[in-house]
Every structure is written in structure tokens, then in C-alpha cells.
A and B are shown apart, each in its own frame.
Chain A
């Protein structure tokens, strides 16, 4: 390595950074396990209490958290599957098929990532009302069925792993484009497709702004929308709120623990080549 070897001071500092990364999650679990009265004490608690189950029960009593989890799960898995399928197809086309305007179209795809589409929510909402989609899950699913990130990511994966020779062989054998994709392209990028799926799942699971607008918080909430409902009592009930938050982050943390290496690798690869 180009610089001097890392010393204990550096490791000490990084441990502090790590602690700062984890502390809010840990603290949210602590608060979730406490009686609210304990939180009124002078010194903030740092050790879990015994009220976790009770607080979680209260979460499910206050809002229909099962429904919210179920909705979030439906939304996030649909969005993940669709991004994987459509993203892999488009990525394969951009990486390994030849067609007029390919490179400029891909630049357009990259450019769309910079467009602040959030600012179009007013007409988007009107569109959803016209379609009679207010309060339905498709209103949050359809607009993100395929995103520029999926196309970019799968194009890169195809560039790296799908050999031209195999495509050529398949085409000489008379395979159609789609069959070539299915037999040669897709098998080669399956691992990257899986990471993309998990990544998209997390993003869709965490989405807040648009679901808050287009879903009915009482009728069709996602987990994130339900979380904001938990915050709307007469007084701020932190044990309740953070018990909800603790449940809401569990699926994402599980995915992250399993796939952190791939997720980190993906972000860093994208940075260099994008």
C-alpha cells in the first residue's frame, strides 16, 4: 500500500466511526425495550429493558403492522423481480447486442438518474387518481418497475461475464435473441442479478415519500408509512415509535448482513466505471 501501515490510532478512530454507525440502531432497540417512564430519567438508558414484547404488541395494536409488512413485502418483491428481469434484459442488450443508437441511448439512461423526478409528484398523483390507483399497491409498484440503476448495473455485469463467443455460437445455431439471452446471457449474470434483486428490494422497502402520498395510511400502508403513523399520537411515544422502527429495519439488516460484501463491491465498482 502506498501509505504507511495503519496504526492503532487509526483502528481506534475507525472503531469510533463504526460505533457511530451502529449506535442509532442499538439505541432504537434499547428504547424499544423500555417502559416510557424510564426514558424520562436523567441519564439515558444504555442497557435493554424488559418491555420489548409489550412495546411490539402495542405497535401491532396501534396500527395494522401485519398488513403494512405484508404490503411492503409485496411491493418490494414485485419491484425487485421486475427490476431484475427487465434490467437484465436491457443490460444484456446494451452490453452485448448491436443496434443503432445503442451508446447514445445508454447515455440517456445514465442521464435519467440525474432527473429530479420527485418534483413531478403533483401530476403523478393526478395520473394515479385518473387511473383509480390511489391507495392501491400498483400505484407504488408501477413507477419503479424498472430503474436506471438496474439497467446500468446489469449492463456492467454482462460486459464482464457474458462471452461474445457463446453468443455467437448460439446465434449461429439459430437461437433467437431472447433464447440467446435466456441460455447464454442470464446464466452468466445470475449472481449479479441476485445482488441487484436484494438491493432493489431494500430500496423499495425503504421508500417513503411517494407511498406516503399515494397510499391510504389507514387502509393500505407500507411499513414506512405505518412508522409515520406511529409518530402521530397525542404525545410522542418513543418506545412505541422505535419498537416499530426496530421491526421495520430488520429485513433490510438481514439482507445487509448476508450480502454486505457484494453490496459494497457493487457500489465501489459502479463508482469507478460509471
Chain B
């Protein structure tokens, strides 16, 4: 793209030479110069008003005693944060969030990597297989949660039935922390593994073929080539998926919410004893069940900090691991 003097901005976008333009273009100078801003403005307006502003305003709300119904009851400084740090339910939710995040993200991305490698092997009917692995991703999270709630039922769930076949006693998936975390992670994995596999597959297909050929000549095996050629070559995509899964995985809501039969009945959020209550669920409970907006905003803002921290740590770690030659 050529760089032109400001006076010639009105030249047709395609102009390859910055030659002086005909006079009549001057008349449409305003149009050519400002219409682009007008037509990209809606995005920035919508994002600013309904995305960025509420997120930043959350920090301000967290410094107040703010009730959802009664409104702002005054500035309290860091009182909400002091209370939060002494709040066992917050630490419990933080633990659950991190545990669910690790349990659902790490195996998911590894499985996606493996699946992508398999899909990359010159399959017949590749479109069919790709669509098949993507299907779970288009199903609504509410519907998925309801089906999996049945799968993990204590008495008549299909998972306990299958475990029974190999002699394992029924597990009360909702009652125990680890069992519930496994169950919720399974839902997340089911929805997202195929999607991430397709991202990896796309990246793998753009790895130059001659890299593999020369490695084959050197006698490298498939496993070796996968780790020393494929994985480093698709590093940007791996980084991307790690960051997006971090942001998503730390904000789980629907899966743990609907896994708890008491949720819709307004009894509990995230298990009778908060075994699988995530931070977003805790924020929801504080804000929309107990109407304590100030405290809910404090939870939200702390989660924001956690998301940032984990994203940065993951980004650095992954870059180092996937980058070693």
C-alpha cells in the first residue's frame, strides 16, 4: 500500500501511484476521508458501551457498598477486598476455578493436538471427519449440561452403569469435589476438543512438507518428527489456543451451574456444599441472588486479575516449552 500525503487521502483505495487526482475527487474528499471511520464506529461504540465500560466500572463498584436493588450506599475503600481475602467461600471458588481450569484445559489441548495429527494423515472424506469433531462445539452449553447431568447421575447415570461393568462402585458425581470436577471438565472437553483440533489441523497443514522429507531422510521417526517439527511449527496457534482456553476456562459458568440440580430451583449454586462453585458462579450468587453488587464486583475484579496472571504465565510457559528446538 502506498503512503500518500493527507491531501490525497481521497484517492481511490486501489490507486497504486500517488499521482495527483482529478478534480472531482476533491468534492468527495469528506466522504472518502470520514466515511471509513463512520462505518467502523458501530463496533467501537458497542464494545465501548457494553463491553469495556462495564468491565472497568466493575472496579469502581467494588469500592462501594453497592446493592443491586437499593443502589450505591457509599464509598467503602478496600473494605470489600479485605472481606474477600478472609472469605473462605472465595478461596473455595478460586480453588475450584483453577482445578476445573487445569482439569479441562490441559487434557483437552493435548487430546486436540493428537486428534489434529490423526486428521492430518490424508484421510478419505476429510470434510466428514472434520464436521464430526466440530459438532459438539455448536451445541448450546445449556443442552450439553442437561445431557451430561444425566450421564453423571448417581443412581441411573450411564457413566456409573459403565463403571459398574468393570466392577467399580457407583460414584456420587455431584457430592464429591474431585468427582464433580472430573464430570464438569468432561463437558468442557467434549465441547471444545474438536474445535481446537481443527485450529491445530489448519496450522499443521501449512507446515512446509520438505521439512518432513529431510527429517525422514535423516531417519527420524513419526513421533520424533511430531515433537521436533510439527509442534514448534504450529507454536503461534498453540499459544493462541492456550490463551483463549485460559480466558474461557477460568470463566466457567453454565456447565457447573446446570450440573447442580439446585441451581434452577434457586437453592444452591455449584453444589450443595459449593464443591464445584467457580468464581463466576460465586459472583453470580453474590450479585444476582443476594443482590450484593459491590461484593460481586469485587469477586469479578479479582477474577479479572487471575485471568490476566494465568494468561501471562501460560503464554510465557507455552512459548518456552513449544519453542525449544
Contacts and interface: CB of A to CB of B under 8 A. Distances in A.
Main SS at interface, chain B: helix
A245 B142 contact: yes
A107 interface: no
A90 B251 contact: no
Interface in B139-184: 139-144, 146-151, 153, 155-156, 158, 161
A206 B42 CA distance: 24
A21 B133 CA distance: 6
Given A122-B61, A172-B12, A209-B253, A264 B304 contact: no
Closest 10 CB pairs of A and B: A120-B54, A1-B122, A164-B14, A232-B264, A206-B140, A143-B50, A268-B202, A120-B55, A260-B131, A171-B12
Given A17-B115, A167-B14, A209-B253, A252 B55 contact: no
Contacts of A97: 13, 32, 35-36
B156 A39 contact: yes
A58 interface: no
Given A3-B122, A14-B118, A261-B127, A236 B261 contact: yes
Interface stretch (B75-83, B88-96, B100-108, B190-198): B190-198
B65 interface: no
B123 A245 contact: no
A31 B158 CA distance: 11
B319 interface: no
22 contacts: A18-B129, A20-B190, A24-B139, A97-B32, A98-B13, A114-B243, A120-B55, A122-B54, A123-B297, A143-B50, A145-B46, A148-B43, A208-B142, A224-B141, A230-B264, A231-B261, A248-B143, A256-B131, A260-B127, A264-B127, A268-B201, A274-B240
A117 B54 contact: yes
Contact of B143 (A28, A119, A164, A238): A28
Contact of B57 (A40, A123, A268): A123
A223 B43 CA distance: 27
A245 B146 contact: yes
Given A17-B133, A272-B203, A4 B121 contact: yes
Contact of A165 (B14, B33, B151): B14
A145 B307 CA distance: 26
Interface of A: 1-6, 10-11, 13-14, 17-18, 20-22, 24-25, 27-28, 31, 39-44, 86, 89-90, 92-94, 96-100, 102, 105, 108-109, 112, 114-127, 142-148, 151, 164-165, 167-168, 171-172, 174, 176-178, 181, 202, 205-206, 208-209, 213, 223-224, 227-233, 236, 238, 241-242, 244-245, 248-249, 252-253, 255-256, 260-261, 263-264, 267-269, 271-272, 274
Contacts of A27: 147, 150-151, 158
B57 A120 contact: yes
B55 A119 contact: yes
Contacts of A99: 9, 33, 36-37
A267 B153 CA distance: 34
Interface of B: 1, 4, 9, 11-15, 22, 24-25, 28, 31-33, 35-37, 39-40, 42-44, 46-47, 49-58, 61, 68, 115, 118-124, 127, 129-136, 138-144, 146-151, 153, 155-156, 158, 161, 190, 194-195, 198-203, 206, 209, 212-213, 222, 237, 240, 243-244, 247, 251, 253-254, 257-258, 261, 263-266, 280, 283-284, 287-288, 293, 296-297, 300-301, 303-304, 307
A93 B31 contact: no
B127 A122 contact: no
A41 B297 CA distance: 46
A98 to B, nearest CB: 5
A86 B9 CA distance: 23
Contacts of B190: 20-21, 24
A13 B307 contact: no
A93 B11 CA distance: 14
